[in-house]
Structure 1
Amino acid sequence: MAEELGLPGSLSIALGGMIGGGIFAVLGVVAGITGSLTWLAFVLAGLVALGAGYSYNALNALVDASGGSVTFVRCFVGNTTLAGMVGWTLLVGYIGSMGMYAVAFSEFALGFSALPSSLGGVPLRPVLSVGVVALFVGLNLLGARASGTAENALVGGKIAVLVALGVGGIVFATAVEPRPLDYGLDRLPAFGPIMSAAVSFVAFQGWQLLFYDQESIENPTETIRKAVYIAIPSAVAIYVVVAVVTTNLASEALRTHPHTALASAAEPLLGYFGYASVGFTIVSLAALLSTGSALNATLFSSGHLAKGMVSQNLLPDRISDGEADGVPPTTLVVLGAITAALTVPGSLGAVTSFASLAFIVVFGSVSYLAFRHREEATINPLPPLVGMVGAVSFLPLLFWHLYHNEPETFVTVLAIAVVVALAEVLYFEHDALKEEVVAFERDVEAAVENIGHDREEP
């Protein structure tokens, strides 16, 4: 029981998985599409995520097992192969996301002048990326309590910085140096926020991590339900405030250097008190806390996902012990090693885009399952419908965005999807494929024998 997480720890996992390093990159992309209506894009994406969150909670109350999306597919569809493919796809997405967090952590760390870009001729960026992965693997090896305590501290720190920046920026723009805040309302109705919502959906993919951690959560069904309903609106509120402040105080910075645009928004606020140069340090600190907490939360939860899949014979038992208490060390080490290897080359744009697409598909599918079973339990059909329709809309929009704005990433994403699908089919259908191959070989041998027999006849 000492290892179980309560509501505060569960909230930290959910918020830690959502408010990660992605917001620093996504903010600039979204603002480039829809400008001062960026806040509306986050609201729309948040509504779809909330609909999916309701669906997850509704289905979770109907099953007596942990596993989230994988369990839901297995229980309500009855297809083990499909459930396994969903799990494999999610693991690839989580590993890619962790790689992105580790790379972003090292890039923000190198932004401090105290750290050189290389040491003894060795680039420091890969070293820092691998190092931060190793750090959180070691932390998770200490158990759920240690991981949860660290997550509470990381999430509390980054939320404090982001809220202070957002609220302080609005107060500054309305009271200290008054200026009209542009909310973009004169541009409504507009299609831009809908397109931007699809792109920004990557910032809302962390709350579902809780459904893999249920053995480490006290009174899991009720605790997770509360955590999801608190975490998603909280993330939306933070994103909205940050978006309004940044698009109004640092609109030019969003176009020229989106990753550090929040620092530019902090400069006039702190400059009023004579500390303009502190803005970069504060925002970089928030970025380090954000990427660190997201990496920790995702590693903790993906470890539980992998363990659950092993117990359901959906993963090789060499990487985990499905009967162990907590996440087996082997699982954490394997996930950490793959993640660390991915961080060495650097850019992980295609992997994270694939992850975003995968999460949209899975969220929409779970929403569909909840909508389909609305009459079997007290399920309100409206939230699942919102999650389902939102996902169906976001998927082609995100594809369209990648195709027109990042064609190389688009092609790579398709290649990753093909490779992952082939690997899944070979693993889950290898017995059936083996039978087909054996049957084909027999047919070929029979045909050869017949040809030989025909030649021997006069």
Structure 2
Amino acid sequence: MSDGDLGLSASVAIALGGMIGGGIYAVLGVVAGITMAATWAAFLLAGVVAVCAGYSYNALNALSDQRGGSVTFVQCYVGNSTLAGMVGWTLLFGYVGSMAMYAFAFAEFSVALGLPGSVAGLPTRPAVSVLAVAAFVALNLLGARTTGVAENVLVGLKLAILLAFGVLGLVYALEYGGAPLEFGVGRLATVGPIVAAAVSFVAFQGWQLLFYDQASIEDPVETIRTAVYISIPVAVLVYVLVGVVTVNLAPEALESHPHVALKDAASTMMSPYGLASAGAVALSVSALFSTGSAINATLFSAAHFAKGMLTDDLLPDDIGDADADGAPGRTVLLLGVVTAAFSAVGSLGAITSFASLSFIVVFGAMSYLAFRQRDAGEVSPLPPAVGAAGSALFFPLMLFNLYEREPNTFYTVLVVAAAVVAVELLYFERGYLEREIEQIERSANR
């Protein structure tokens, strides 16, 4: 792709494609399980923090002489390769968690469409998740990717389907529901919507992929700025609309099988037209398409992001070849294997929480970096302050939610995080450690 190929519409499509579709199908059930009728408030709050993080990214990008994303910003404004590498590793774990989340939802909707729930006494869901990841790993190894025009069309279709779902759902609720819409106003004074907002944060991370493809974007600073400010509010609108409709039309489904409650809501809203089954099938097929394309797009972006880190010596050479034409094959395979394992053994709540934690850390750090630049140029201190404060609030609430709801996952996350940090420090500070060891050996030999 040559310089300046992508304009504003394509950039908005990329940003929305990273948020709309896979995210809502995967996280809605988890979020609604925490705060039910106030689900809309959780999405709104998460969207506010995401917009503030987006402002921070745009501010850092405008001030920097280098074009890039989180890792570049840390290198530029902090000058610490260890911190830059740790931010990059955290993002990669977030991408893995996102793909595992999409693969989980893909399998759930596959079962909802008619696949048996178990075969020979073994659950089908983990196997389907693994097979889905394997299929998209194979596609990426073959070099398949969506063209810019096709991406615009596909994102438009996903957006249209979800908007139609929301509008028809509201029509049904107002005309046939027989009861006023529930908005969970009584829950707004509790911590539930804030915890749910933190859990849903992973559904708002797709826009930052734009910062890693700036060489292909016309007038990247201004185009990305505008695309971010368009895409995040649109995603918030869709999530709020879908959340209100699903909570009001399928409350029992959210209790019994929350991961595919959208299907039940679609069936309910189409029942007056005699199309209940068709509505459920159409929504499920849309979910398969959306979550599948989300796996493919995230794997493609994550592999190229990792390639950039390999070039900067921020990942071991064994991970992949930085000089490879396109995404390094070993990198794609490694990301796929870790994603498949994660999707097979993790619960959707745990996977979603893990991915959201990763992006909360990175987005909060970038907001803090932008706040530090408040005296430079025209950087307003308020949005970065809100982004950093929101992330700082989300992080402990996320951990507390994991501890309360899935204590085993909570301890697993702590152990994994500690192990990852230890490996990162050993890798990035290996030169310092080698010098210290040599000094100790020389002292011992005297």
Deviation at 1:166, TM superposition (A): 0.8
Partner of 1:33: 34
Amino acid at match of 2:316: P
Partner of 2:411: 411
Partner of 2:226: 226
Partner of 1:42: 43
d(CA) in 1 for partners of 2:187, 2:427:
51
Partner of 1:435: 435
Confirm or deny that 1:92 pairs with 2:93.
yes
Q: What secondary structure sits across from 1:65 in the alignment?
A: coil
Partner of 2:77: 76
Partner of 1:174: 174
Alignment of 1:365-444 (within 5 A): 365-444=365-444
Cα displacement string for residues 49-89 of structure 1 (whole angstroms, at most 9, x for unaligned residues):
00000100111112233331111111101111110111112
d(CA) in 2 for partners of 1:215, 1:318:
27
Change over 3 Å in CA distance of 1:16–1:146 after alignment to 2: closer
The more displaced of 277-286 and 397-406 is 277-286
> Structure 2: any 5+ residue segments left out of the alignment?
none
Deviation at 1:236, TM superposition (A): 0.4
The more displaced of 401-410 and 104-113 is 104-113
Deviation at 1:134, TM superposition (A): 4.4
Contact 1:2 1:145 in 2 (8 A): no
Change over 3 Å in CA distance of 1:329–1:74 after alignment to 2: same
Q: What secondary structure sits across from 1:237 in the alignment?
A: helix
Amino acid at match of 1:278: A
Amino acid at match of 1:50: V
Deviation at 1:39, TM superposition (A): 0.6
Partner of 2:238: 238
TM-score with structure 2 setting the length: 0.89
Deviation at 1:33, TM superposition (A): 2.8
d(CA) in 2 for partners of 1:334, 1:382:
40
d(CA) in 2 for partners of 1:111, 1:344:
18
Cα displacement string for residues 166-204 of structure 1 (whole angstroms, at most 9, x for unaligned residues):
111111222355531122335554433222212221221
Contact 1:21 1:287 in 2 (8 A): yes
Amino acid at match of 1:359: F
Contact 1:5 1:145 in 2 (8 A): no
d(CA) in 2 for partners of 1:338, 1:409:
17
Cα displacement string for residues 350-370 of structure 1 (whole angstroms, at most 9, x for unaligned residues):
454333212111111111111
Contact 1:17 1:293 in 2 (8 A): no
Partner of 1:451: none
Amino acid at match of 2:250: A
The more displaced of 45-54 and 102-111 is 102-111
Partner of 2:102: 101
The more displaced of 267-276 and 314-323 is 314-323
The more displaced of 173-182 and 59-68 is 173-182
Contact 2:350 2:402 in 1 (8 A): no
Partner of 1:52: 53
CA RMSD of aligned residues (A): 2.8
> Number of paired residues?
445
Confirm or deny that 1:250 pairs with 2:250.
yes
Contact 1:212 1:302 in 2 (8 A): no
The more displaced of 436-445 and 371-380 is 436-445
Contact 2:98 2:202 in 1 (8 A): no
Amino acid at match of 1:367: S
Deviation at 1:239, TM superposition (A): 0.7
Amino acid at match of 2:34: I
Cα displacement string for residues 112-153 of structure 1 (whole angstroms, at most 9, x for unaligned residues):
22x456789998656644443344345546769635455444
Contact 2:350 2:406 in 1 (8 A): no
Contact 1:144 1:326 in 2 (8 A): no
Deviation at 1:273, TM superposition (A): 0.8
Contact 1:154 1:290 in 2 (8 A): no
Contact 2:133 2:336 in 1 (8 A): yes
> Structure 1: any 5+ residue segments left out of the alignment?
447-458
Change over 3 Å in CA distance of 1:109–1:9 after alignment to 2: farther
Partner of 1:450: none
Change over 3 Å in CA distance of 1:434–1:370 after alignment to 2: same
Partner of 1:280: 280
Amino acid at match of 1:304: H
d(CA) in 2 for partners of 1:262, 1:54:
32
Confirm or deny that 1:161 pairs with 2:164.
no
d(CA) in 1 for partners of 2:382, 2:145:
37
d(CA) in 2 for partners of 1:251, 1:333:
40
Contact 2:269 2:276 in 1 (8 A): yes
Change over 3 Å in CA distance of 1:28–1:111 after alignment to 2: closer
d(CA) in 2 for partners of 1:198, 1:386:
14
Give the percent of matched residue pairs that are identical in Structure 1 and Structure 2.
Answer: 61
Q: What secondary structure sits across from 1:277 in the alignment?
A: helix
Partner of 2:260: 260
Q: What secondary structure sits across from 1:272 in the alignment?
A: helix
Amino acid at match of 1:381: P
Q: What secondary structure sits across from 2:208 in the alignment?
A: helix
d(CA) in 2 for partners of 1:235, 1:69:
22
d(CA) in 1 for partners of 2:347, 2:194:
27
